[in-house]
Amino acid sequence: MIKGFIFDLDGVITDTAEQHFEAWKKLADELGWIFDRKVNEKLRGVSRMASINIIKDHNKANVDEDTLFHLAEKKNNYYKEALKELSQDDFLPGAKELLIHLKREGFKVALGSSSKNAKTVLSQLQATPYFDAVADGNSTKRSKPEPDIFLFGAKALKLKPEECIVFEDAESGVDAAKKGGFHSVGIGPKGRVGHADVRFETMKEATLFAVKSSFKNLF
């Protein structure tokens, strides 16, 4: 029986991929590193430190852990500056409608994001009231594809994994949901989230009616 929903943030509720890209690009340009959209795609749902390691490895650069941490911090400052422009108009189409519908029907709702900026993003969107709990990049040590963030969210909702559906746009996020024993909805192309239990191309198609129809025996 489904009692709760756990939503990834970036790529599900809103899309700040462009702001992340611009911030990483600015840092990479300063360092003389190569960074393009193809590398950026590998960062979807990946934590900040794991992201900078991917970019560093792509450039075959030799950087110690301490410097790497400071570079990631620099990128984060660029990203945070861009977040100031985010507003309640920046929900992905369909996301706000689904959150309102879930509240109205009495489902419990948590956030399950790798981002350490998740609370700021929710606040900029004015989305904080739709969530009963927030699990983010500050909540657990291990990030996706480990299930820890979603398990933290489910625990905060006082629900078991099998009572929750996780919404994810990243391959590693769907892996994390499955590993934790959650039901999963993938948002995006088959090549990325085709391994989820159910997949929708965008959040627009993921209405509560469509979700209930896809998980018939669980409602």
Q: Which residue ranges make up the site for ligand B16 (CB under 6 A)?
A: 8-11, 20, 43-48, 51, 76, 113-117, 137, 170
Answer with the entry of Mg ion, ligand B16, none that 96 interacts with (C-beta below 5 to 8 A by kind).
none
Q: How far is the CB of 1 from Mg ion (least distance, A)?
A: 27
Q: Please give the structure tokens belonging to residue 18.
A: 């462009």
CA–CA separation, 54 and 143 (whole Å): 15
Q: How far is the CB of 96 from ligand B16 (least distance, A)?
A: 16
Q: Please give the structure tokens belonging to residue 60.
A: 């075959």
- Is the Cβ of residue 98 or residue 104 nearer to ligand B16 in the bound state? 98
Judge contact between 10 and 171, C-beta under 8 A: no
Cα 125 to Cα 91, 93, 102, 194, distances in angstroms: 7, 13, 18, 29
The distance from CA 161 to its chain's CA centroid, rounded to whole angstroms, is: 18
Q: Smallest Cα–Cα separation from 84: which of 19, 150, 181, 176?
A: 19
From 10, 136, 148, 175, active-site residue: 10
Residue numbers of the site for Mg ion (CB under 5 A)? 8, 10-11, 45, 169-170
Residue 90 among the catalytic residues: no
Residue 175 among the catalytic residues: no
Q: In what side-by-side order are the strands of the sheet with 133-135?
A: 133-135, 108-112, 4-7, 164-168, 183-187, 198-200
- Is the Cβ of residue 154 or residue 170 nearer to Mg ion in the bound state? 170
Judge contact between 72 and 49, C-beta under 8 A: yes
Q: Which amino acid is at 195?
A: H
Whether the upstream peptide bond of residue 145 has omega within 30° of 0, thus cis, is yes
Beta-bridge partners for 198: 185
- Is the Cβ of residue 10 or residue 175 nearer to Mg ion in the bound state? 10
From 8, 136, 169, 175, active-site residue: 8
Q: How far is the CB of 29 from ligand B16 (least distance, A)?
A: 18
- Is the Cβ of residue 50 or residue 218 nearer to ligand B16 in the bound state? 50
Which residues belong to the active site? Answer: 8, 10
